[in-house]
A and B are shown apart, each in its own frame.
Chain A
Amino acid sequence: MHSGGFASSLRHAASALALAVATAACVIWLAGGAPVEALAALAKGAAGSPDAILRSLAKATPLLLAGLAVSLALRGGLFNIGAEGQLLVGGLAAAWVGAMDWSVPAWLHAPAALLAGAFAGAAWGAVPGVLRGWRGTHEVIVTIMMNYIAIHLTHYLVNGPLRDTSTMAVATRPVREGAQLWSLPGGTHFSAGFFVALAAAAGVAFLFRRTALGFEIRAVGQGERAARAAGVPVAHTMARAMCLSGALAGLAGAVEVLAVHRRFLDAFSPGYGFDSIAVALLGGLSAWGVTLSSVLFGSLAAGSVYMEGWTSTPRQVAGVVQAVVIVAAGVRLLRQRRREEE
């Protein structure tokens, strides 16, 4: 699929923003609300002050990592609907490693916890990848089922063996100081996680531009049969793509745990894994596009919470907007592909 440059990504993000505003206004107006007032509140909540901008970027952080996950798999023609489950197990693994009493140097603790999250996510992604590669089992079905298994498994672990019994909250023990990611004081939740996510975006861009694996993933995405004829090991490539995708989603969970909650709270994700599908599609599957679209959706999320508080317009408007933006992005991708063919 197409991966545009930075300028075209920016142009698409701007048109998506315009569409999002128009849709939100229509929905609020149709439901009998006051669109101007609500949208003003949304904008203020998303970018009205330095704190608001930081809050939007904090919201964008897990969306960027999980969006990269979905986009990476999609370039290999694989639909990873399972980012949510991968994110949950990744978060739990990071919390578990982060809370360990370790005699290793403190600077190693955070990277180790992040790595644990990525590994757990990769393991969760490997199951649908291997099944698809060698058995042809549809990855959409398997990833959806793996989501439910992850929800129940983490629920069990955080209520049972890993539960911190000293608090009322259903959560694991807090992660140790050495394992926490740096975050700005003041409750915006902006953290070093944002830079981890940017580094991951650069890594994904590098993967597709410079490495053999990136080339193979794209080849499989453009057509299994042709890829096989060209000597690409299709099954291996699918499994690897799903592992990498799962690792990125797991990293999203790990970052959220280590930087924001500082422990694994039961059901901490408000659906980042599902929103990331929209992020990936709007991003046009390029790493830079995904970065911009995650910031857009992060702002939308932060702004809609603010809007709900000040104008009592339900924040779910943001979700309706996301759906419309996906449709527009899907149609645009298609036009682009057709133009490339001609």
Chain B
Amino acid sequence: MTPADLLLLTPALRQYAALGIAAAGGVVSERAGVVNIALEGMMLAGAFAAVWAAQVTSPAVGIAAGGAAGMVLGLVHVLLTQRLKMDHTVSGVAINLLALNGTAFLLRQVFRQADPPREATVVATLPIGIFVAAALALPVALHLLLQHTRFGLRLRVSGESPEAAAMAGVRLCPVRTIAVALSGLLAGCAGAYLSLSLVGGFTDSMVSGRGFIALAAVVCGRWTPFGAAAAALAFGYFDALQLRLQGAVAMPHEFLQMMPYALTILAALAFRSRPPAALGRTDIRL
């Protein structure tokens, strides 16, 4: 194994693109005070809508459709958690369930697939580089948005101290709605990347936990854009590493596959930090 192989830049960045974009979505939502465990379902809906739209029209429209699908679920999350005051995690579980079964149902109904289904494939995949570049630029853009704009300030206050925000005349409802919709948009785009670029098609539950890992990256990255991106990159790297080590070391590959998850737990233990103060509260007047 050469040093260049150990760097594993290409495979690591491939994984990172999906995790990083989704983790950015997680940061936006959670900094506004809304727990977003629904990233997984938003990614899945995005992946499905992207393939559907790409088949009917073009791959570019596919990305837009993926983002839009994630955004719609984001708005559902806003409706449930902000208007109906539902527990954020419960709402997220419901959205994940809806996306998982809804996409599987539509795959069979729309694409008329037998069970077990062949996946719905796209004719031409999009270049991975575009998404990797976007995923690398995203933390910078998000940092600027959160720290250097009026909207970013309002978003952060809405997650730290909604009472103070209300006292200062900030209307929380639009701020949170935009934040969670943007979160869904990003997660949907991450899903579109998976189906249109990385895989080239849609299969049942193809996101396979990446949304949850992105959420873990948000926590390990202390709810900051750069921190979350670094955690996502680390996870992408370890995932690429375990794939590379399979066959290279005398160890059952299952143990190598466990490694990224075990390391995530250790990272969550090591990088302890305080979440946004109002994260997950449901007693806030909008």
Contacts and interface: CB of A to CB of B under 8 A. Distances in A.
Nearest to B100: A319
Interface string A141-164: 110111011001101100110000
B106 interface: yes
Contacts of B95: 323
A317 interface: yes
B143 interface: no
Contact of B252 (A141, A156, A331): A156
B94 A135 contact: no
A314 B84 contact: no
B89 A319 contact: no
Interface string A32-47: 1100000000000000
B109 A32 contact: yes
Contact of A330 (B86, B104, B254, B255): B86
Main secondary structure of the interface of A (DSSP, over half): helix
Contacts of B255: 152, 156
B254 A156 contact: yes
A334 B84 contact: yes
B163 interface: no
B94 A323 contact: yes
Given A27-B105, A137-B268, A314-B104, A145 B94 contact: no
A108 interface: no
A152 B108 contact: no
Contact of A322 (B97, B104, B105): B97
Nearest to A338: B85
B45 to A, nearest CB: 12
Interface stretch (B173-181, B183-191, B211-219): B211-219
Contacts of B261: 145-146, 148-149, 152
A319 B104 contact: yes
Contact of A320 (B80, B101, B216, B265): B101
B262 interface: yes
Interface of B: 37, 80, 84-87, 89-91, 93-95, 97-98, 100-102, 104-106, 108-110, 115, 209, 212, 215-216, 219, 252, 254-255, 257-258, 261-262, 264-265, 268-269, 272, 282
Interface of A: 27, 31-33, 79, 81, 127, 131, 135-138, 140-142, 144-146, 148-149, 152-153, 155-156, 159-160, 274, 277-278, 281, 308, 314, 316-320, 322-324, 326-327, 330-331, 334
6 contacts: A141-B265, A144-B209, A155-B254, A314-B109, A330-B80, A330-B84
